[in-house]
Amino acid sequence: MKILVTGGAGFIGSAVLRHIINHTENSVVNLDKLTYAGNLESLISISNDARYAFERVDICDRAGVERVFKEHQPDIVMHLAAESHVDRSIEGPSAFIETNVIGTYTLLEVSKLYWAGLDAERRERFRFHHISTDEVYGDLENPEDLFTEQTPYAPSSPYSASKASSDHLVRAWHRTYGLPVIVTNCSNNYGPYHFPEKLIPLMILNALEGKALPVYGDGSQVRDWLYVEDHARALYLVATEGVVGETYNIGGHNEKKNIEVVKTLCDLLDELCPQSQFNPHFSLVKYVQDRPGHDKRYAIDATKIKNELGWTPQETFESGIRKTVEWYLANSDWVEHVKSGSYQQWVTQQYGE
C-alpha cells in the first residue's frame, strides 16, 4: 500500500514514517508544511529509501493537496498535521484554527473527491485516519475516572477546541458522505526527536545547561504518558486493521504528576551525568504562574484497542523515559539544529530569561 502521512516531519508523524519504512513493506508520502516544529533531520534514517517521498505542502493549500493525491494515489491517509502546543494556542489561536480546522476541512474535501473517483476495490480499501488528542475531553475530576471513547467533549484551550472541531468534521464527513474514516485520541507522547517546547525535552535540555526548570503552578497536574514508538505502532495498526467509523483511545497506562516527571528526569540526569556542575538537577526547578484554563488531569482507558486490535504499550514509563534521556544525551547535534532563534524567542517570551 501507499500511505500518505500529513505532518510527517513532526514528532509523532516522523515516528510513524520510521515505523512504516522499518517494519512494513509499504510506501509512504510525507506531506508537511515544515513549520517551526517540522524537522526533516528526524527522518534522515529513512530519507534515502525508495519507498519514501516528501512533499512540502500546506494542508490548507487545496491545489497542492490535490496534486499530491493525483501524483501519489494513496491507499490510506494518516492525518497528523496540526498545531499542537497549548501555550502557543493561548498566545495566538488563529494559526490553530487555520491549520487544525480549515486544514482538516480541506484535506477531507480532497479525500472525498479522490475516494469517489477510485475503482470499487480501491474505494473499499481506502481509509482516512484522523489522529487527535485526549485533550478534547477536557479534564477529569475524580481520581478513578478515565477517558473512554464515549466521554463527552469539553475542550479547555484554543488548541483542544480546534482539535475537537476537526474531530467533529471528520465524523460528519463519514456520516454525511460515507467517507471511510477512523479516529484515534491519544495521551501525552514523549520520546526521541521531540521538539523542545514540550515538558520532557524542555526539562532535559534546560537541566543540561543549568537553566531554570519552569513548572506550572505546583506541578500537580496529572498526565498519562505514552512512548512515541508505542503510539506509532498503534496508529499503523488502527489505520490498517481498525473498523471504519470507530474511535480508539490510545494511552500509555502511565499517570504521573508533572512534578513527578520532572523529578524522574532530574534523577536520571544526576545518574547519567555524574560530573555535571548542576547536580542535583532538581535544585533548578522554578515554579511559575499556572497557565489559563490548565486541565488538572488526563487519563486514558485503552481497553478497546487492546481487546479489539490486540495493542498494548511495550514501554513502561521507567523504560521509556530512560531511553528518552539517553537519546537526548547522544544526539546533541539534532538538538542544536532544532534550537533555532525563533525557538529561543518563544521560550523567553513564555518563561522569561
Q: Which residues are catalytic?
A: 134-135, 159
Strand bridging mode 222-227 / 255-257: antiparallel
The whole-angstrom separation of Cα 47 and Cα 44 is 5
Residue from 78, 102, 108 nearest 179 by CA: 108
Per-residue cell: 34: 515544515
Distance CA 330, CA 202 (A): 16
Interatomic CA distance for residues 328 and 203, integer angstroms: 11
Distance, CA of 316 to CA of 43 (rounded, Å): 25
Separation of alpha carbons 9 and 70, rounded Å: 21
> Do the Cβ atoms of 82 and 35 come closer than 8 Å?
no
